């Protein structure tokens, strides 16, 4: 059993899951009687479980220093932003760097709704997990 099993188990699930979708209020008109609800992403149960497991992995593997994901990315020449992370060549990255990308994507959702959806839909999360699986 690999220490990464808690995360790489999501590879087939991601391929079969809807991930999530934007929910946009089209019924209300913005009046005080009918305020418009802010758009949000309705993530699938699989994504919620994935997020929980990313944090569980971080808690159980303090040696990986994943709370320093921004510094880890910076050390390999990546910025903590969508384009830099999505365009990262992961072929030579070690497990810590891959996990920093994953943690960075999960944390990005806390600051900007829909960022994690973008990382899933663009195939980045899957690509990073598949590379992580090669360390088993």
Beta strands 40-43; 20-23: pairing state? antiparallel
Query: What's the whole-model pTM score?
Result: 0.93
Cβ count within 10 A of residue 115: 20
Cβ count within 10 A of residue 42: 11
Asked whether residue 136 carries a pLDDT value surpassing 80, the answer given is no
Domain that residue 112 falls in: 5-133
pLDDT tens per residue, range 78-110:
999 999 999 999 999 999 999 999 999 999 999
Encoded tokens for 50: 């994935």
The count of structural domains within the chain is 1
Name which of 23-32, 45-54, 98-107 the model is least confident about. Answer: 23-32
């Amino acid at each position: 059993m690999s220490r990464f099993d808690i995360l790489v188990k999501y590879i087939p699930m991601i391929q079969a899951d809807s991930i999530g979708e934007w929910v946009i209020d089209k019924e209300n008109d913005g009046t005080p009687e009918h305020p418009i609800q802010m758009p949000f992403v309705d993530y699938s149960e699989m994504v919620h479980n994935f997020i929980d497991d990313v944090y569980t992995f971080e808690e159980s593997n303090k040696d990986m220093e994943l709370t320093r994901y921004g510094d880890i990315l910076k050390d390999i020449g990546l910025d903590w932003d969508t384009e830099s992370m999505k365009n990262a060549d992961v072929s030579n990255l070690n497990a810590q760097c891959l996990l920093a990308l994953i943690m960075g994507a999960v944390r990005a959702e806390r600051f900007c709704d829909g960022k994690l959806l973008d990382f899933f839909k663009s195939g980045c999360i899957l690509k990073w997990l598949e590379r992580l699986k090669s360390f088993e």
